[in-house]
């Protein structure tokens, strides 16, 4: 297990929010923003030590946040100087990884932190990113031409780094350097960078209206946590025929070989069965109702779209996916070498901890169509918790 530290950057004066109180000390749902952020980053038990970077003369932070495995460092004039101070404070601990996070992002969760940590297993740095939903246009006092959204990503924190590498990169910067974020420093230093899927809920509280949204979101969360709930289990089943090809998509993972699955979309029977299981749990029809094969739009479509749709339908109902279990029934391909990749892909798509995602496989002892390797079957179960309906 790597030793993981985090730096929460809270040295800013939060000028954009207005008022005298820096935004990390504003009250959100009865607690300061920074208390919420620290608690959220520690909830998953993934972080071993936290350094809070505070402004010189700030006496509030220690009163609010002191605890085991929490220490404090005094920030500098710029964000860059503050991060540098945080990194230097971790020198003696020398963690394997460091996650650098904005104190004003209190909605970070365990799944996002897990994706950043996973990203670091193969690279020097990992950054959560999201595609841009709004149209983006140039502006120089007047509306100009479009900027191609496909070339742009919104960047969030926590940004993760191999500690020794990012410390060296910051140490090499002049004291008055001002960089936009820590990934920019990593990029300039030539570190390898992975991007992982960000989280739309992980907003940075920047403008006064962000606080209004955040209060609403907290109210929603409290409602979800206090309303009586029931559990529902849905099941799904799917079959696709084998045909010649070089890549088979199964549970969101490409498997190279000499066969593939025949179908209108990418024919990922694993994700199709799972999508149907989730739709079953919320009694919302099946995959064919929502993505009819007659619609050319879904030709060759990546099946994670279908799964994301089903997960969104759960969220819209105030529900939560608790656990999923997929069984692949086939003689070939061999599933075992791909099983962990399949679990992580599903966990990523559904923002579900890996411990709640099961993928397994069986054969039919050479019997039937799967036994003759004419095709592959998948079955799935999904457990969802939902708010109890009020009696009508
Ligand atoms: Mg199918």
241 CA distance to ligand 1 middle (Å): 10
User: What is the tens place of the pLDDT at every residue in 232-271?
Assistant: 999 999 999 999 999 999 999 999 999 999 998 899 999 9
Q: Which of 299, 297, 303, 293 has the alpha carbon at shortest distance from 326?
A: 303
294 compared with 331, residue with greater pLDDT:
331
Question: What is d(CA 246, CA 226) in angstroms, rounded to the nearest whole number?
Answer: 50
User: What is the tens place of the pLDDT at every residue in 304-361?
Assistant: 999 989 998 998 888 899 999 999 999 999 999 999 999 999 998 898 888 899 999 9
Q: Are 253 and 233 in contact (CB under 8 A)?
A: no
360 CA distance to ligand 1 middle (Å): 18
What does DSSP assign to residue 122? T
383 CA distance to ligand 1 middle (Å): 21
Q: Which pLDDT value is given to residue 213?
A: 86
Q: Which pLDDT value is given to residue 207?
A: 86
Is the pLDDT score of 387 beyond 70? yes
Going by pLDDT thresholds of 50, 70 and 90, the confidence category of residue 13 is low
Q: Which pLDDT value is given to residue 100?
A: 98
Q: Are 50 and 38 in contact (CB under 8 A)?
A: yes
- Computed over every residue of the chain, the mean pLDDT equals 91
Is the pLDDT score of 391 beyond 80? no
User: What is the tens place of the pLDDT at every residue in 359-381?
Assistant: 999 999 999 999 999 999 999 99
Average pLDDT over residues 180-188: 94
Is the pLDDT score of 221 beyond 90? no
| pTM above threshold 0.85 | no
232 CA distance to ligand 1 middle (Å): 23
User: What is the tens place of the pLDDT at every residue in 42-94?
Assistant: 999 999 999 999 999 888 888 899 989 999 999 998 999 999 999 999 999 99
Within 10 angstroms of residue 208's Cβ, the number of other Cβ atoms is 13
Question: What is d(CA 185, CA 81) in angstroms, rounded to the nearest whole number?
Answer: 12
Residue ranges near ligand 1 (ion) with Cβ within 5 Å: 238, 272
275 CA distance to ligand 1 middle (Å): 10
Q: Which two tokens stand for residue 196?
A: 């992982």
Q: Which pLDDT value is given to residue 22?
A: 83
């Amino acid at each position: 297990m790597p030793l993981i530290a985090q730096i929460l950057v809270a040295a800013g004066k939060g000028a954009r929010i207005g008022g005298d109180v820096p935004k990390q000390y504003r009250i959100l749902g009865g607690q300061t923003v920074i208390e919420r952020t620290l608690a959220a980053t520690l909830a998953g038990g993934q972080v071993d030590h936290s350094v809070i970077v505070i402004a010189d003369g700030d006496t509030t932070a220690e009163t609010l946040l002191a605890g085991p495995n929490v220490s404090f460092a005094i920030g500098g004039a710029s964000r860059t100087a503050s991060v540098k101070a945080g990194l230097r404070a971790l020198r003696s601990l020398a963690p394997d990884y460091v996650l650098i996070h904005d104190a004003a992002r209190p909605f970070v969760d365990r799944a996002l932190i897990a994706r950043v940590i996973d990203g670091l297993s193969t690279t020097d740095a990992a950054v959560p990113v999201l595609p841009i939903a709004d149209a983006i246009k140039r502006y120089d006092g007047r509306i100009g031409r479009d900027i191609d959204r496909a070339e742009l990503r919104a960047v969030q924190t926590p940004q993760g780094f191999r500690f020794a590498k990012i410390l060296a990169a910051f140490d090499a910067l002049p004291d008055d350097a001002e960089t936009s974020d820590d990934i920019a420093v990593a990029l300039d230093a030539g570190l390898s960078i992975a991007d992982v899927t960000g989280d739309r809920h992980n907003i940075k509280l920047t403008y006064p209206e962000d606080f209004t949204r955040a209060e609403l979101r907290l109210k929603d969360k409290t409602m979800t946590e206090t309303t009586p709930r029931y559990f529902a289990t849905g099941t799904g089943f799917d079959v696709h025929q084998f045909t010649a090809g070089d890549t088979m998509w199964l549970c969101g993972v490409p498997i190279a070989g000499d066969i593939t699955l025949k179908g209108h979309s990418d024919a990922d029977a694993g994700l199709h069965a799972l999508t149907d299981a989730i739709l079953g749990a919320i009694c919302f029809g099946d995959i064919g109702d929502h993505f009819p094969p007659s619609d050319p739009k879904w030709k060759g479509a990546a099946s994670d779209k279908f799964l994301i749709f089903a997960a969104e339908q759960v969220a819209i109902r105030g529900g939560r996916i608790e656990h999923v279990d997929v069984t692949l029934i086939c003689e070939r391909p061999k599933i075992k070498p791909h099983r962990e990749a399949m679990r992580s892909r599903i966990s990523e798509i559904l923002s579900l901890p890996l411990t709640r995602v099961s993928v397994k496989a069986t054969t039919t002892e050479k019997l039937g169509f799967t036994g003759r390797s004419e095709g592959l079957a998948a079955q799935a179960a999904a457990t969802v918790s939902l708010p109890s309906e009020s009696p009508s």
